[in-house]
A and B are shown apart, each in its own frame.
Chain A
Amino acid sequence: MPLFEGLRLAFREIAAHKLRSFFTLLGIIVSVAFLVAVVAIIQGMNAYVSENLAGAIVGRNAFQVRRIPISVGLFDDEEWRELQRRPVIQAEEVAFVQRAIPDALAVSLQSGWPTPQADVSWRNQTVGDVLVFGVTPPFQIVQDYVMAAGEGLSDVDVRERRRVAILGYDVAEKLFDDFDAAVGRRIRVGRTQVEVKGIVEAKGTVLGQSWDGFVMLPITLFEAMYGRRQTTTISVKMARADQVAGAMLRAEEAMRVARRLRPGEPNDFTVDTAEGLITFWENLTRVIFAVVPAVVAIGVIVGGIVIMNIMLMSVTERTFEIGIRKSVGAKRGDIQRQFLAESIVLATTGGILGILTGWALAQLVAVVSPMPARVTLWSITLALALGAGVGVLFGVYPARRAARLDPIIALRNE
């Protein structure tokens, strides 16, 4: 029997038992949908984390000289005590780093974690819990800030500890209708009066969190208000990504000189990019990727066994039909192909329905949560191959049973 005839028969048979076919396929649909959705979400997150999160935290093509490394995991007690003994980063050390990396686009100093929060108000308008940073002007280059109104902080602002502030877009939007008119207004940050010097263009949201809800002050003013931070950080921005690794080595050398560390003595500082964060994320997804196939495999095997059962049932139900076909000249191979085609079409239909469900699920997750989803071609291909594979694997046995039926015995089965 030609392939086309087999496929036509398969579709007719499945269409004749729509509900039964659907329930037969439930296992495959759920497994494949799970596969497609989870992979889509993880892929989406991966792209997102490496494209946005790292850049947002550290800045594009940038690295930091820090007292405490960037980390998502927890330090153990020993490590933590060790880190606590490290000296705080000093403003003077910026110059050492700067001299070591003359090709840096910017070297800045900024107040570190935890960032204090304050109410910001103008006249009777108040925005609560705004993040307050203290920075040196190059920080604005490190973060690629673009001014929506007014101008950025200057060296003079820092040196003279001027009472000026740069507003994040969200804060400015909540306080003022007209940004240009906002420049020069006196607002209050906590209990301190400052003058709005500029407003930064919106950076958008990362992981559902706005990066525009801040007030930026000259670091000298910030330290007068909140005291010297234990976590002050130096940021270095390079022109290109391939310059970062070399610059990090030079920064490390410069810091060792500044700290007068002898050869062999460990660093009492950390030169870091957001790489660690990305690595952590990648490790996490690697674990998920290791678990997903196992879950999918179990689902698919169960789904396959269901298909095999239904196919066996179908062979029994259609013994008479098989007898007729054999009596008019169907060979074993013809019958086997017919039933194999049926189980493959059945399982592949399950795969396709699963892909659609998984895709819809991923879209839903993307819409209702900050998690982005990216349906990838390879997960669709894998899902389809899985469906067809299950059809073959679990269809062979019923098909062989059907093919081996004796025509007269089968005909007696009306």
Chain B
Amino acid sequence: MSGESLIRVSGLTREYRMGAETVHALRGVDMEIRRNEYLAIMGPSGSGKSTLMNLIGCLDSPTCGEYWLNGVEVSQMQDDELARVRNREIGFVFQTFNLLPRASALHNVELPLIYAGMSGRERRQHAARALERVGLADRMAHKPNELSGGQRQRVAIARALVNDPSILLADEPTGNLDSSTSAEIMAVFEELYRQGQTVVMVTHEADIASHARRVVTLLDGVVNSDTVREAA
């Protein structure tokens, strides 16, 4: 089941200049993502999955092409506007967790709210609720190195959720986890999806992708296939 259009990219191109050479990471991607979709992006290594995710996540800007998010053209935005979109619209989960090593789980989750300008008390309440949602109510004061890999990724997911983003992006979120922990994390995504969260996830593994309702495969910087499976 899918709602209105959330993201539309057309002719999205990203080139990297490496001295005299130019690497074409994306060569014109056209794609639409609707609200409350659960989308997996697959493809061989180097096909441009992470590049596409970084563009959608506003961490990077395209060389050319258009990117519309919630009816706003993001591809024309400057640094600070992109930061605002990252802060309000997007929750990004990385393969390597990317948590502040010396800060507690709670503080890590608070981080986006700090930059949203929320007051301290409200911030802590929101962060605590997000941690409860991923099942870490009892680990709030722990530092990342006092948590398991799966728990760290839950903290990262809580941080991605805390601002109520339009879309949750995850680039190989289980890439650094063993299979049973991966299953736990996938269950978290599944649950978020059921609650109405739009999820886009990059993965290598077919059984991870099988959680998604739609699978897009990239090859050499372009969309190779786009399959929608009807929910069971």
| A residues adjacent to B (C-beta < 8 A) | 1-2, 5, 16, 320-321, 323-334, 407-408, 411, 414
Task: Check B86 for interface membership: any CB of A closer than 8 A.
Answer: yes
Task: Check B100 for interface membership: any CB of A closer than 8 A.
Answer: yes
* Closest residue of B by beta carbon distance from A320: B98
The contact of A329 among B54, B87, B94, B102, by CB within 8 Å, is B87
Cβ contacts under 8 Å, A325 to chain B: 111, 115
A326 and B114 CA atoms in complex are apart in Å by 12
A333 and B81 CA atoms in complex are apart in Å by 12
Cβ contacts under 8 Å, A408 to chain B: 54, 59-60
23 residue pairs of the A-B complex, CB under 8 angstroms, read A1-B115, A2-B117, A16-B102, A320-B98, A324-B98, A325-B115, A326-B86, A327-B59, A327-B98, A328-B87, A328-B111, A328-B115, A329-B83, A329-B84, A329-B87, A331-B84, A332-B79, A334-B115, A408-B54, A408-B60, A411-B94, A414-B96, A414-B98
| B residues adjacent to A (C-beta < 8 A) | 54, 57, 59-60, 79-80, 83-84, 86-88, 92, 94, 96, 98-100, 102, 111-112, 114-117, 159, 163
CB <8 Å contact, B114 and A407: no
Cβ contacts under 8 Å, B163 to chain A: 329
Cβ contacts under 8 Å, B92 to chain A: 327-328
The 6 closest A-B pairs by CB, nearest first: A329-B87, A328-B112, A329-B115, A331-B83, A329-B86, A331-B80
Cβ contacts under 8 Å, B57 to chain A: 327
A414 and B100 CA atoms in complex are apart in Å by 11
A379 and B92 CA atoms in complex are apart in Å by 52
CB <8 Å contact, B59 and A328: no
CB <8 Å contact, A332 and B115: no
- New A-B contacts (16) at CB < 8 Å, excluding given A1-B115, A326-B86, A332-B83: A1-B114, A5-B114, A16-B102, A320-B98, A323-B98, A324-B100, A324-B111, A326-B83, A328-B87, A329-B112, A330-B83, A331-B115, A334-B115, A408-B60, A411-B59, A411-B94
Which of B57, B59, B117 has the largest number of chain A CB atoms within 10 A? Answer: B59
A232 and B96 CA atoms in complex are apart in Å by 94
CB <8 Å contact, A328 and B100: no
Distance of B109 from chain A, by nearest CB (Å): 10
Distance of B90 from chain A, by nearest CB (Å): 9
A328 and B100 CA atoms in complex are apart in Å by 12
Cβ contacts under 8 Å, A333 to chain B: 80
Q: Tell me whether A411 and B79 are in contact in the complex, defined as CB-CB below 8 angstroms, given that A328-B87, A328-B159, A331-B115 are known contacts.
A: no
A332 and B79 CA atoms in complex are apart in Å by 8
Distance of B127 from chain A, by nearest CB (Å): 12
A408 and B96 CA atoms in complex are apart in Å by 13
A155 and B80 CA atoms in complex are apart in Å by 94
* Closest residue of A by beta carbon distance from B116: A329
CB <8 Å contact, A321 and B100: yes
Cβ contacts under 8 Å, B94 to chain A: 411
Cβ contacts under 8 Å, B83 to chain A: 326, 329-332
Cβ contacts under 8 Å, A414 to chain B: 96, 98
* Closest residue of A by beta carbon distance from B98: A324
Distance of B17 from chain A, by nearest CB (Å): 14
Cβ contacts under 8 Å, B54 to chain A: 408
A407 and B87 CA atoms in complex are apart in Å by 13
Cβ contacts under 8 Å, B84 to chain A: 329, 331
Distance of B173 from chain A, by nearest CB (Å): 15
Distance of B52 from chain A, by nearest CB (Å): 13
* Closest residue of B by beta carbon distance from A333: B80
Cβ contacts under 8 Å, A327 to chain B: 57, 59, 86, 92, 98
A34 and B192 CA atoms in complex are apart in Å by 63
Distance of B126 from chain A, by nearest CB (Å): 13
CB <8 Å contact, A329 and B117: no
A411 and B94 CA atoms in complex are apart in Å by 10
Which of A2, A320, A407, A414 has the largest number of chain B CB atoms within 10 A? Answer: A407
* Closest residue of B by beta carbon distance from A8: B120
* Closest residue of A by beta carbon distance from B112: A328
A333 and B99 CA atoms in complex are apart in Å by 21
Cβ contacts under 8 Å, A324 to chain B: 98-100, 111
Distance of B84 from chain A, by nearest CB (Å): 7
Cβ contacts under 8 Å, A332 to chain B: 79-80, 83
A326 and B115 CA atoms in complex are apart in Å by 9
Distance of A10 from chain B, by nearest CB (Å): 14
Distance of B51 from chain A, by nearest CB (Å): 10
Cβ contacts under 8 Å, B99 to chain A: 324
Distance of B85 from chain A, by nearest CB (Å): 8
CB <8 Å contact, A329 and B88: yes
Distance of A180 from chain B, by nearest CB (Å): 76
Distance of B222 from chain A, by nearest CB (Å): 21
Distance of A104 from chain B, by nearest CB (Å): 75
Cβ contacts under 8 Å, A320 to chain B: 98
Which of A321, A325, A331, A411 has the largest number of chain B CB atoms within 10 A? Answer: A331
A323 and B97 CA atoms in complex are apart in Å by 12
Cβ contacts under 8 Å, B159 to chain A: 328
CB <8 Å contact, B102 and A411: no
A298 and B45 CA atoms in complex are apart in Å by 56
A321 and B159 CA atoms in complex are apart in Å by 15
Cβ contacts under 8 Å, B60 to chain A: 408
Which of A1, A324, A411 has the largest number of chain B CB atoms within 10 A? Answer: A324
Distance of B53 from chain A, by nearest CB (Å): 10
The contact of B98 among A1, A2, A5, A411, by CB within 8 Å, is A411
* Closest residue of A by beta carbon distance from B159: A328
